[in-house]
Structure 1
Amino acid sequence: MSYALTGLEGKVAVVTGAGRMRSIGRSIAVELARAGCDVVITGSGRSPDAFPADEKQAGWRDIESVAEEIRALGRRALPVVSNVADPDAVAALADTVVREFGRVDFVINNAGAARAGDRVPVVDVDPAAWRKVIDVNLNGSFYMSQVFGRQLIAQGEGGTIINISSVGGKLMAPNTAAYAASKAGLHALTAAMAGEVGRYGIRVNAICPGIVSTSRLDDLSSEQWDAIINTYVPLKRAGAPAEIGSMVVYLCSTQGAWISGQLYSVDGGQVAGR
């Protein structure tokens, strides 16, 4: 007899930042669809000119390609270009979701700012780079949580919000101040909101991935990443995006129904005990 997660069939999930081919967001969206959810996926509307070489070679079409994968699994998909850092755009996204699907059940705040000059000492960070990271990683998750949280409360049937954070928000390493601050702030948002909306049956958690094999690792050579992994990751490998997706599925399931306010590291043992 197999053991199956339940409470996912026919639910409506929203996943932000899900357009890249080698990404956590894409895997979250696909794993939720595989578990029985209909999925709304957002992306920033990247120009194909900016796609990595492997996306161009594959004929990748950002969120449209992910939507096709979801439909191939027999679930409904709605791709929407949206900017989570714009509160008006987030409100419009929520209106679209409710209009098209009638409800929302799971909200996955995955959209993240690309590395762009922010990985330097605090005394050298360009304030514009700082604002960009905070606007997308923290403010965007706040806008999404506020707008969709109100919708979940109004529906009166519970729901789940999951913030995709990072072990960087726990490690707070030198030269990562903007990123670490955005993720540590996301931990505070997660914990505070969990205490506020629990009475409505709404659960709020954060997942903190470690080193995961995505296009975000392309800024260093594979040899550099191998050295980092061998030094810091006890399991001696990078994570697969689907391993983050499966954790999302569990936290959305009935089997995860008594979990809220937690900051789960999914990192091969890199950050032990916290």
Structure 2
Amino acid sequence: MSYELTGLEGKIAVVTGAGRMRSIGRSIALELAKAGCDVVITGSGRSPDAFPDDEKKAGWRDIESVAEEIRALGRRALPLISNVADLEAVKLLADKVVQEFGRVDFVINNAGAARAGDRAPVVDVDPVAWRNVIDVNLNGSFYMSQVFGRKLIEQGEGGAIINISSVGGKLMAPSTAAYAASKAGLHALTAAMAGEVGQYGIRVNAICPGIVSTSRLDDLSPAQWEAIINTYVPLKRAGAPAEIGSMVVYLCSKQGEWISGQFYSVDGGQVAGR
């Protein structure tokens, strides 16, 4: 006899930022589909010219490829280009989701700003880079939480909002002020909203990944990352994207229904005790 997570079959999940081949968003979408959810996936509409070499070689088609994988698992998929940092675009996204599926159950705010000049000391960081990180990581999650939160309240059947944060929002390391501030702000958004919508049976939590094997690690060599991991990660390896996805599935499941307002580090032990 096996132990199974329940309460996921036929539910509608929205996962933002789910188009990259080596990414947390794609894995979240696939794990939810494996658990029985139909999944809406969003991407920013990246130009194929900007795809990493491995995506080009694979003939990758961003959210369309992920949608095909979801359908291959026997679930419905709706791929939509959307900008989470644009409130009107988020409202349009919510309307399309309800039009297509009639409801929404789980909202996973995973879309994140690409590293682009923001990893610098506060006295040096470009204000444009700062605003971009805050706009996508924090404001985007706020817009999604507000618009879809209203839908969840109207439905009156509970649900879950999960913000994909980072251990960076707890470490608050030098030269990461924009990123760390966006993620620490996301923790405040998570906690405050959890206290507001709990009365409607809606849970709000954050997951804080550590070093995960995605295309975001391409900025350093494998040897450089290995040295960082061996120094800071007690389990001595990077996480797999699916390990973040499985945490999302648990928090959305019936078994996770009494958990809200938390910031879970899923990081191989890198940030212990907080």
Instruction: Report the TM-score when normalising by structure 1.
Output: 1.00
Q: What's the offset of the Cα at 1:217?
A: 0.4
Amino acid at match of 1:208: C
2:62 matched residue in structure 1: 62
Q: Tell me the secondary structure at the aligned position of residue 123 of structure 1.
A: coil
Amino acid at match of 2:3: Y
| Aligned pairs (5 A) from 1:106-121 | 106-121=106-121
Q: C-alpha distance in 2, partners of 1:136/1:226?
A: 29
2:36 matched residue in structure 1: 36
Q: C-alpha distance in 2, partners of 1:255/1:42?
A: 27
Task: Identify unmatched segments of 5+ residues in structure 1.
Answer: none
Q: Tell me the secondary structure at the aligned position of residue 122 of structure 1.
A: coil
Q: What's the offset of the Cα at 1:190?
A: 0.1
2:24 matched residue in structure 1: 24
Q: What's the offset of the Cα at 1:231?
A: 0.2
1:171 matched residue in structure 2: 171
Report percent identity of matched pairs: 90
Q: C-alpha distance in 1, partners of 2:95/2:44?
A: 18
Q: Tell me the secondary structure at the aligned position of residue 123 of structure 2.
A: helix
Q: What's the offset of the Cα at 1:271?
A: 0.2
Q: What's the offset of the Cα at 1:168?
A: 0.1
2:226 matched residue in structure 1: 226
| Aligned pairs (5 A) from 1:112-151 | 112-151=112-151
Amino acid at match of 1:169: G
1:18-68 alpha-carbon deviations (Å, 9 max, x no partner)? 000000000000000000000000000000000000000000000000000
1:89 matched residue in structure 2: 89
Amino acid at match of 1:182: S
Q: C-alpha distance in 1, partners of 2:200/2:194?
A: 10
Q: Does 1:254 align with 2:242?
A: no
Q: What's the offset of the Cα at 1:148?
A: 0.1
Q: C-alpha distance in 1, partners of 2:52/2:165?
A: 23
Q: C-alpha distance in 2, partners of 1:46/1:123?
A: 31
Q: Tell me the secondary structure at the aligned position of residue 25 of structure 2.
A: helix
Amino acid at match of 2:76: R
2:78 matched residue in structure 1: 78
Amino acid at match of 1:63: I
Task: Identify unmatched segments of 5+ residues in structure 2.
Answer: none
Amino acid at match of 1:231: T
Q: Tell me the secondary structure at the aligned position of residue 216 of structure 2.
A: helix
Amino acid at match of 1:258: W
Q: What's the offset of the Cα at 1:15?
A: 0.1
1:269 matched residue in structure 2: 269
2:105 matched residue in structure 1: 105
Q: What's the offset of the Cα at 1:212?
A: 0.0
Q: C-alpha distance in 2, partners of 1:52/1:175?
A: 26
Number of residue pairs matched by the alignment = 274
Q: Does 1:243 align with 2:246?
A: no
1:11 matched residue in structure 2: 11
Amino acid at match of 1:123: V
Q: Tell me the secondary structure at the aligned position of residue 271 of structure 1.
A: coil
Runs of 4+ in 1 over 4 A off after TM superposition: none
Amino acid at match of 2:271: V
Measured on the aligned residues, the alpha-carbon RMSD in Å equals 0.2
Q: What's the offset of the Cα at 1:267?
A: 0.1
Q: What's the offset of the Cα at 1:83?
A: 0.1
Q: C-alpha distance in 1, partners of 2:178/2:124?
A: 11
Q: C-alpha distance in 2, partners of 1:239/1:175?
A: 23
Q: C-alpha distance in 2, partners of 1:89/1:65?
A: 22
Q: C-alpha distance in 2, partners of 1:124/1:20?
A: 30
Q: C-alpha distance in 1, partners of 2:238/2:63?
A: 25
